[in-house]
Amino acid sequence: MQMKIITDAEYLTIINGLFLKLFVINIPDMDKIIKRNEVYVLATLGTNYQEHDIKDYINTLKRAIELKCQNH
Residue pLDDT, tens place only, 54-68: 999 999 999 999 998
Is pLDDT at 53 greater than 80 in this prediction? yes
Is pLDDT at 25 greater than 80 in this prediction? no
Residues 25, 32 contacting (CB under 8 angstroms): yes
Of the pLDDT bands very low, low, confident and very high (cuts 50, 70, 90), residue 18 is confident
In eight-state DSSP terms, residue 5 is: P
DSSP per-residue string spanning 22-49: HHTS-S-HHHHHHHHHHHHHHHHTTBTT
Task: Specify the pLDDT at position 23.
Answer: 67
